Amino acid sequence: MEHRTSGSLIAVAMLLSPLVFAQEGAPKPTPEHKRLGYFVGTWHTEGEMKPGPMGPGGKMSGTDKCSWYEGGFAVICNSEGAMPMGPMKSIGIMGYSAEQKVYTYVGIDSAGMSMTTVPRGTLSGDTWTYDDESMMGGQKVKSRVIIKELSPTAYTFKMDVQGPDGKWVTAMESKSTKVK
């Protein structure tokens, strides 16, 4: 049933696409889409995960290989690394919703964690902020990711989660350096 629904949606999209293109021409990436280009390249990350709902604390490291997806509307990152709970692989897709005027992120990793609620992100100067609310351990958890560009080849990443008392607690911090 689910496959038919997905197939039906794809068929409708394919049928409507020529109508949209005929009226407006092929869509072009906006300046906001192009801004995602900051993340294109290979990045090495070193950081620390704090003990909490995401797992045990400890050192983490990894490599992200990020490239433009066909059309220039999204950046796809394939990541491999070592987390406190063992080796990890993940895939993430960064995009921009021109209709909602927010940056988006969808991801899944080899430990079964997925971020499918599409967190809403903003960009202010050199700081990207993503807010999300998802289920973790059977409970709703609010999270906030702050990415701060330090230079064209380095950024910091910080993920906070909101505790039951409403206070924000840091779950993860790292620094990434572009290697190519």
Query: How confident is the model over 114-135, as a mean pLDDT?
Result: 84
52/41: higher pLDDT:
41
Is the pLDDT confidence value at 25 over 60?
A: yes
pLDDT category, 165, cuts 50, 70, 90? Answer: confident
Is the pLDDT confidence value at 103 over 50?
A: yes
The pTM of the full predicted model, rounded to 2 decimals, is 0.81
pLDDT category, 3, cuts 50, 70, 90? Answer: very low
Q: Which domains does the chain have, with CATH numbers?
A: 28-178 (2.40.128.20)
Is the pLDDT confidence value at 110 over 60?
A: yes
Among 97, 28, 77, 87, residue whose Cα is nearest residue 176: 77
Residue 121: Cβ within 10 Å count: 20
pLDDT category, 114, cuts 50, 70, 90? Answer: confident
Query: How confident is the model over 163-177, as a mean pLDDT?
Result: 91
The per-residue pLDDT for 54 is 67
The per-residue pLDDT for 17 is 53
Is the pLDDT confidence value at 142 over 90?
A: no
Among 112, 114, 96, residue whose Cα is nearest residue 104: 96
Is the pLDDT confidence value at 26 over 60?
A: yes
